[in-house]
Amino acid sequence: MELNRRKFTNMLIGGGLLGWLASVLYPLFTYLIPPRVEEQSLNSVKAGKVDDFPPNSGKIIKFGRKPVLLIRTETGDFRAFSATCTHLDCIVQYREDTKHIWCACHNGMFDLTGKNIAGPPPRPLMPYGVRVQKNEIIIEKPTNLG
Amino acid sequence: MKSNMVKKVYNWLDERYDLTPLIEFARHKKVPVHEHTIWYYMGGVTLFLFLIQIFTGILLSMYYQPGPDSSYESLRFLLTKVRFGWLIRSIHSWSANLMIFFAFVHMFSTFFTRAYKKPRELTWVTGFILLSLSMAFGFSGYLLPWNELAFFATKVGTEIVGAVPVVGPIIMKVLRGGSDVTGATIYRFYAIHITLLPALFMLVLALHLVFVQKHGMSEPEHLANLPESRKKYIPFFPNFLLRDLILWLIVFDILVFLAVYYPWELGLKADPFAPAPAGIRPEWYFMFMFQTLKLLPGHILFIEGEVLGILIFMVGGLLWMLVPFWALKGRPDQRIQPMEFIGVVVLIYIGVMTILGYAL
Amino acid sequence: MKIGYTSIFAGLFLGMGVLLAQPQDDEKTSYLQQLVEVDQCVACHIEEEALPEGLHENDIHLREGLSCAGCHGGDPTSDDMDIAMDPARGYIGIPDKQEVPSFCGKCHSDIRFMRRFRPQVETDQEVQYYTSRHGRLLKAGDTKVAVCTDCHTSHAVFPASDPRSSVYPTNVPETCKRCHSDSDYMAEYKIPTDQYEKFAESVHGVALLKKKDVGSPACNDCHGNHGALPPGVTSIGQVCGNCHINNLQYFQKTKMAEEFKKMDLHDCIECHGYHAVPPTNDEMVGVGEQSTCIDCHDEGDEGYKAAVEIRAMLRNLTTAIDSANTLKKQIQIIGMDDLDIEYLLKDAHQQLIHARTVIHTFDPKQVEEKTKTGLDRAKEAIQLALEEIEEYHRRRKGFLFATLFTTLLIIGLFIKLRQIESEQKEDAHRREP
C-alpha cells in the first residue's frame, strides 16, 4: 500500500516532468528552426531568375513593404523603380506597346529612366539598383539616394 | 552499475576539488520555520525569473538586429514569421516586470524583518545594487523594440538624467550617443543591455549569493532570542528546495499565462519627427519618481524643482542602500519602531505616487 | 591705456567691417569691374552711380556678353559721352513702351542669331505676342498692357527654368498678379481681379505656391505664355485634359458632353470651377449639400439616380477601406503579420482612385466595375485581418496543454513533499519516543 502510493507519486512526478519538458522544449526547438521565409534583408531582395523575364516586360516585385517595378527593356537590360506613382500612390505598370511606364489611374507616363513625361505625376519614380548574380536578379535599395 | 558510475565521477572530482564540505554544508543547511517564512522564498523567485531572462534573452538575440531601420523590422519578423517568437518575446517582457516586482517584495520583506542587521550589511548593499541594475536592465531594454512609446519614454528618461547637476548633460550625451535619441542610442542601449549589465549583474549576484550562504537564513529578532529547543527548522534539502521548486513552477505557469493571454504589444514604429503621442509614461517601477518630478513646482527656492527632485532621489537612494549602517534603534517597548515607520512611509509614498501616475 | 584699448577696438571693428564687406563687394563689382576695362558705358555709369535699377550681375544677356550697347546701341569704346551716346552711332537709349517687342525681337525673332546660343530656341515670341490680348491692345496704342520687360524684367532676365527668374513656374502667379490683382489699374478693362486670390487657394495654387511643386500649373500653363488669352469655351476641356487625360477622355464620350455643348456649358469648369479649383472630394457626387450633380439634375431624372448610385458605391468602398485600415493598424500594434493586408489595401485604394476617375463617365456600371474589385480587395483584407486576430487568440490553446502538465508536476511534487515530511516525523518519533 505504502509502496504503491510512493510508486504513484513517482509516476505522477515523472509523467508531469516529461509532459512539462515537452511543452517547454517544443516551442524552444521550433523557435530555433529558421523560418521558411528568409529573414527579410532590408537592403536587397531576390526577384527571380533572368530567364523568367523576357525582354520588353515588367513585373511588380515586393520589396519589403514597398512595391518595385522591375523592367527588362527590349535590349535586355534590367531596371527597377519604385512602383508607387508620384501622383496619388497608385501602382504603375510597364506597357509593352508604348514601352513606357504607365499609371492607369490618371494616365501618367514615365520614361524608362523613371522620368515623368506625361499626365499628372509631379516627380520621377525613385530608381532602385539591379544586380544580376549567377543568373539571379537582385534588386537593391539605392544607397546614394538614402 | 549506474550509481557506481556516478560514485566514480564524484570521487574523481572530490579528490581534486574536495567536494565533501560542500555536500556537508548542503546537508546541514537549515531553514527556520515561523510566521515570516514565506518571505524566504522571494529571493529565490527573483533569481528564477532572472535565469529566465538570461535564457529568453539569448534566444531573442538570435533574431534581433539593433539599428534604427532594423530594430522594429527584425522584431516584427520575430513576432510574425518565427514560430513561437511572440511567446519568447512576451515571456522576456513579462518576466522582466515580474522579476523587478519580486525584487521589490524581497527588499521590503528584508527591510521589515530587519534582516539587514549585522552581519548581513553587505548582503543588503549588494541586493540594493542588484535592484538598481535590474531597473537599468528594464530601462535599456524598453528602447530596443524602437516603437513609438519606447522612443519617447527613452527621450524623457534620458532628459531627466540630463537634468542632474554638473555631470548630467555629459552622462545624457554618452547614454544617447549624441545630443538626441537616435540610431546611435539603440546601439548603446543594446550593448549596455546585453553585455555590460549582465556582466555586472552576475558579479554582484555571485557576491550576494555567497553572502547569503555564508550567513544562512536570518531569523527575526523574537525568534533568535528563543532557546534552541523551541525553534523550529526544516532541512534545506529536500524540504525547502522542494517547496522552492513548487513555487517556481507556479510562478512559471503564471508567467506563461500572462505571456500568452496578455502578449506584449509591438506598437507602431518610432518616428523621431512625429509629435509625441499622448500617454507617454515610463515603466511602472519608475512611475513614482517620474510622477514626483512632474508634480514638483518649476522652482523651489533657488534651484529648479526637477533638479531638486533628482537630488532628493539620489540622496534617498544612497541612504536606503546604507540603511544597515544608520538604522535607528527603538526601545523594545515602543509601539511604533522608527525603522518600521520609515519603511511604511516609503511604501505608502511609492504606492500613492504610482497610483497618481496612472490616474492622472 | 584707455586710448590704447579704444583704438584697438576701433581697429578690430574696421578690420571686421572690411572683411565682412569685401567678399560681397567683390562679387558685386567683379564682373562689372571687368567690363569697365572694355566698356565705357559701364565705366561711366558706375562712376555716376546711374546703373539701371534692378540690374542683376548674372542677367543672362550680360553674362552672354551682350553689354549695354548690345540693346541700347551707341559706341561703348568711347569715353566721350557725346560720341558714345550719339544716335548717329546707333544709340537708341530707352525704347518707347510700344517699341519694346520689336526692340527685343531684333534678336529674339532672328532664328539665325538666336541659334548661336541655343539650337532648339523658339523665335516666335514676338509674333505670338501680337496675337495676345496684350499685343493687340499695345498695337492699338494702349501702353498700360504688359510688354516683354513687364514679365521678364529689363535687367534681371533669366531663363524660365532658373528659380531666380520672374517667369519661373512658382514666380509666374506673382508676376501676373502685379497688374491683374490691381483693381484700380485694371478698372477700365472690366475684368475680375481676384484670380490670384482664388488660384492661391485652389488645389493647383497650394501645390505650386505652398508645396513648390512645379508640376502643378501656373497661369501660363492654361493661358499660354506669349500668346496669352483666356482659353475659349470650346477648348477648356482640352486645357484641363492636358494633364487630366483620363478624366477628359471619359467625359468626352458621355451624353452629357454633347448636352453641355448644346447648352453652351463649359466642360470641366461647370463642376470644378476655374482659378479656385478646390481639391475634389466624394461629396461632390451624389445629392448631398456639396453635390454638383443637383445643380442640373432633379429628383426622379436619370442623372439624379446615377448620382445616388455612384455616391453609394464610393461610400461603400471608402468605408470598407477605412475599417480594413483600422484593423491593419490594430494588427500592427499587437505584432501580427500585416504585410499581405497592406498589399491588398494598396490595391483597394488604387481601385478607389480609379473609380473616382471613372466617375467622369457618369455611368454607374463602369464605376461599379472598379468599386466592386476594390470592395473585394478590401473585404479580403478584412478577412485576412480577422484571421490574424483569430490566430492571435488561438495561441492560447497551447497554454492549456502546458499548464496541465505543470499542474500535474506541481501536484506530484507536493505529494512527494508531504510523504517525505511525514516520514521524517516518524523517524523523529522513533528516535525520541
Instruction: Give residue-wise pLDDT tens across range B46-83.
Output: 999 999 999 999 999 999 999 988 899 899 999 988 99
Instruction: Give residue-wise pLDDT tens across range B211-231.
Output: 999 998 888 877 778 887 788
How far apart are the C-alpha atoms of B353 and B61, rounded to whole Å?
35
**Domain residue spans of chain C:** 1-94, 97-230, 302-394, 399-433
Q: What pLDDT score was predicted for residue B53?
A: 97
**Min Cα separation B37/chain A (Å):** 26
Residue numbers in B near C402 (CB within 8 A): 253, 256
**Min Cα separation B109/chain C (Å):** 25
pLDDT at position B308 over 60: yes
Question: B112: exposed, middle or buried (C-beta count within 10 Å: 0-12, 13-18, 19+)?
Answer: middle
Buried b (16+ CB within 10 A) or exposed e, B86-111: bbbbbbbbbbbbbbbbbbbbbbbbbb
B71 to chain A: closest CA residue:
A42
Residue numbers in B near C395 (CB within 8 A): 86-87, 260, 263
User: H helices within chain A, ranges in order?
Assistant: 2-32
Chains A, C: CB contacts under 8 A, how many?
90
Residue numbers in A near C350 (CB within 8 A): 89-91, 105
B83 and A27 within 8 Å at the Cβ level: the answer is yes
Closest CA to B112 of B284, B359, B343: B343
Q: What pLDDT score was predicted for residue A146?
A: 41
How far apart are the C-alpha atoms of B92 and A10, rounded to whole Å?
32
B73 and A39 within 8 Å at the Cβ level: the answer is no
Which of A20, A32, A42 shows the shortest C-beta gap to B69?
A42
Question: In angstroms, what CA-CA distances link B92 with C137, C204, C307?
Answer: 82, 53, 57
Domains of chain B: residue spans and CATH? 33-281 (1.20.810.10)
How many other C-beta atoms can be found within 10 angstroms of the C-beta atom of residue C220? 18
Residue numbers in A near B77 (CB within 8 A): 39-40
Scan for cell 550680360, then name that residue. C62
B248 to chain C: closest CA residue:
C410
Greater model confidence, C62 or B3: C62
Residues whose CB is less than 8 angstroms from the CB of residue A146 and which lie 6 or more positions away in sequence, other chains included: none
For residues A118 and A109, the answer to whether their CB atoms sit within 8 Å is yes
Interface of A with B (CB under 8 A): 20, 27-28, 30-33, 35, 37, 39-40, 42, 64
For residues A35 and B83, the answer to whether their CB atoms sit within 8 Å is yes
Residue numbers in C near A85 (CB within 8 A): none
C409 to chain A: closest CA residue:
A16
Selected from 3.90.1310.10, 3.30.565.10, 3.30.210.10, 2.102.10.10, the CATH number assigned to the domain covering A44-145 reads 2.102.10.10
Instruction: Give residue-wise pLDDT tens across range B102-145.
Output: 999 999 999 999 999 989 999 999 999 999 999 999 999 999 99
- Torsion angle (degrees, nearest 10) of CA B127, B129, B132, B134: -60
Residue numbers in C near A19 (CB within 8 A): 404-405, 408-409
Q: What pLDDT score was predicted for residue C17?
A: 40
Note down pLDDT in tens along chain C; length 433 residues.
Answer: 344 444 444 444 444 443 444 444 455 556 777 777 778 888 888 888 888 888 888 889 888 888 888 889 888 888 888 888 888 888 888 889 999 999 999 899 998 889 888 888 888 999 999 999 999 999 999 999 999 999 999 999 999 889 999 999 999 999 999 999 999 999 999 899 999 999 999 999 999 999 888 888 999 998 888 887 777 666 788 889 888 888 999 999 998 888 888 888 888 989 999 899 999 999 999 888 889 999 889 888 989 999 999 999 999 999 999 999 999 999 999 989 888 899 999 999 999 999 999 999 999 999 999 999 999 999 999 999 999 999 888 888 888 888 999 999 999 999 999 998 888 888 888 887 6
Residues whose CB is less than 8 angstroms from the CB of residue A131 and which lie 6 or more positions away in sequence, other chains included: A44, A137, A138, A140
Question: B151: exposed, middle or buried (C-beta count within 10 Å: 0-12, 13-18, 19+)?
Answer: buried
Interface of B with A (CB under 8 A): 59, 62-63, 69-70, 73-74, 77, 81-85, 87-88, 249
How far apart are the C-alpha atoms of C243 and A122, rounded to whole Å?
10
C401 and A23 within 8 Å at the Cβ level: the answer is yes
Instruction: Give residue-wise pLDDT tens across range C126-135.
Output: 999 999 999 9
For residues C68 and C39, the answer to whether their CB atoms sit within 8 Å is yes
- pLDDT bin (cut points 50, 70, 90) of residue B2 is low
Q: What pLDDT score was predicted for residue C433?
A: 60
Instruction: Kindly report the CATH number that applies to the domain delimited by C302-394.
Output: 1.20.140
A42 to chain B: closest CA residue:
B70
Closest CA to A73 of A46, A53, A52: A53
C418 to chain B: closest CA residue:
B239
How far apart are the C-alpha atoms of C17 and A29, rounded to whole Å?
75
Residues whose CB is less than 8 angstroms from the CB of residue C138 and which lie 6 or more positions away in sequence, other chains included: C97, C98, C101, C130, C145, C147
Which of A20, A118, A122 shows the shortest C-beta gap to C406?
A20
Sites in chain A below the pLDDT cut of 70:
1-2, 37-42, 143-146
Residue numbers in A near C406 (CB within 8 A): 16, 20, 23
C335 and B80 within 8 Å at the Cβ level: the answer is yes
How many helices (H) and strands (E) in chain A?
Answer: 1, 10
What is the share, in percent, of chain C residues with pLDDT greater than 70? 92
Q: What pLDDT score was predicted for residue A2?
A: 66
Interface of B with C (CB under 8 A): 75-76, 79-81, 86-87, 234, 238-239, 242-243, 245-246, 249-250, 252-253, 256-257, 260-261, 263-268
Q: Which of B253, B255, B271 to mutate to test the interface with C (most CBs of C within 10 A)?
A: B253
Which of A31, A37, A42 shows the shortest C-beta gap to B73?
A42
Closest CA to C60 of C108, C124, C8: C108
Q: What pLDDT score was predicted for residue B36?
A: 85
B63 and A27 within 8 Å at the Cβ level: the answer is no
**Min Cα separation A35/chain B (Å):** 5
**Min Cα separation C378/chain B (Å):** 21
Which of B69, B81, B87 shows the shortest C-beta gap to A27?
B87
C350 and A116 within 8 Å at the Cβ level: the answer is no
Which of C395, C406, C424 shows the shortest C-beta gap to B249?
C406
**Domain residue spans of chain A:** 1-33, 44-145
Q: What pLDDT score was predicted for residue A143?
A: 62
C399 and B243 within 8 Å at the Cβ level: the answer is no
